[in-house]
Structure 1
Amino acid sequence: MSRYARQICLPEVGETGQAAIKAAHVLVVGAGGLAAPVLQYLTGAGVGRMTVVDGDVVSLSNLHRQTLFRTSDIGLSKAVVAAKTLRELNSECRIEAVETPLDPANVTALVAQCTLVLDCADSFAVSYILSDTCKMLGVPLISASALGMTGYVGGFCGTAPSMRAVFPGLPDRAATCATAGVMGPVVGMIGTAQAQMAMAYLIGQTPSPLGQLIRFDMQNFRGSGFRFDSAPEPAADLTFIAASDVTAEDFVIELRDIDEAAIPATENARRLTVAACAAQTLTPAADQRAVFICRSGLRAWQAASHLRTYWDGKITLIAMGDTPPTERKPI
């Protein structure tokens, strides 16, 4: 009996669906808690090729939910350890590890070669960078997020609207698993749903997971969902760029303080807070591009949104690292 017999016998899969699974190249961004069930289930199902992107290393405080890793893996590359484990799970799958963070400089090359993208990262910036790129290239995106005891998973781009159609703006404050905490089983449940939506797309299931969002609330043991197939697609106004794309002609605002970044991202950057940006009228030249820089992208988004209320020039954002504890985001 073949490894995949129990899924091939499903009428929704069959030999045709299994062939589609084998032919797929799935890009998984993030190798943490959401990716643990995603990577294991997709590898077990026989996805022909997967690229795992993560620039982080295994840490002790994440082991309660990042179940691909062991205590002996602490300090090692998450992408490399995950790839090694997955190859041992199913040698028929081709697994590639990319040990660098996803950013605007590498995203197009990574997405362009794939059948499907899964966003398992704990980052606002990565989610919007992936959504904008997937929308531009016509590649479907299954994105998920978990925090505390709640979370969501949705199918975007491809034949569906992008994340900007459902989440047009960021909240006032934000948090990550590192700053606000998260329950391991909640992450695993949402990651498993993400894996199932990925499988549904690969086998051509009807209704399509693209255009569907599912919310989970395990504090109150309930869930909800809705379709957004006809949601209007807004213009991708505040987009992210790589730090290497900044030029000497740009109007650059560095929102990280000295404790976060002793040296500004660029020599010509002005160091301000979001409050300071809101309290004054910044005046880029008409032909300049405004660039706002912070760690997670949230403060850059807030400051840029204020500028947009009175200036119609080009505005871009840069996210330079992890979210500081001062940024909070309830789901």
Structure 2
Amino acid sequence: MTQTSPPGWHPDPGYTGFGPRQERWWDGTQWTDHLRVPPAAVRSRRIRIGAGVTAAVVVLAAVGGGVYLLNDDSGGGNDSASAPSASPSPGPDRQRGGGPGGGGNGDDRGDGGGESPEQDQPEIEKGYATDLASGISIPVPDGWKGESGMGAGVTTGSYACPGDTDETCVRGGVFSAPAEALKLTTRTAKATAEKDIEANAEASYGEKIYGGITSHEELKSEAVTVAGQQGYRVRWKVVTKNGDDGYVESLAFPSPLAKDMLVVVRSGFDINAKAPALSVLDDMTKGIKAASGGGSGGGTDA
């Protein structure tokens, strides 16, 4: 093991091959317990359709009605725990916000000084599903199930999907992910929500699970404040060919971690007496907040 590599983020030497490939903080002499998802490597891989979740999925970056698993495409992990040999990526204080003209002096902080990585690591809080990639926490209502990870998911009311009884659907689901993970390249919250709603509807209530969407009605298209950020939401009522009709919503807003990162929250609620009321969705939206310990690099644009 070399002792000459300066502190920085490097590929996790303990990566097992499951879930997202993360980076681990090297403090100049040893590997620490601090992990993060590489900002430039947030990817998603669709693993199922319908308003359901698979119980085995732990790391969620999902859509209302569908579940996505963040997964690195670059192959297996590195089982070696040796010190990193490449130059480290900048520390967390120079990864967030500001752009090239932002803070930091560009050095490698080889003396171990300056901001430590844990100051930028979001914490998973009780009663919330925390999206570590986006830096937000979604409240988990009583009786609901929350999943935290590189993306967050909150679901309730599981049942056999109408178009494929081998699949499990849920009566209500709220999921978050960075817009980049959903391949959304629009630059404003309004444009992102407007572009995402059709994909959200199709993933939630389309294809074989519900026989496709026969029509939709726009219920909301409006600005909304979420986690202190100026965002935008679009809500549709969709009519399906098989099974329950539903409500879908795409909500977009700047991440509290960095104002140039957009977060997308996709929701899907069945229209059924056993499904939660839309007022629950409104309450959950109001309750979304910046994840504790995740920094405050966001802020709204003028």
Fold match, TM over 0.5?
Answer: no
Structure 1 length as normaliser, TM-score? Answer: 0.26
> Would you tell me which structure has more strand in proportion to its own residues?
2
Q: Which has the higher contact order (CA 8 A, sep 6+)?
A: 2
Relative to total residues, which structure has the larger helix share, 1 or 2? 1
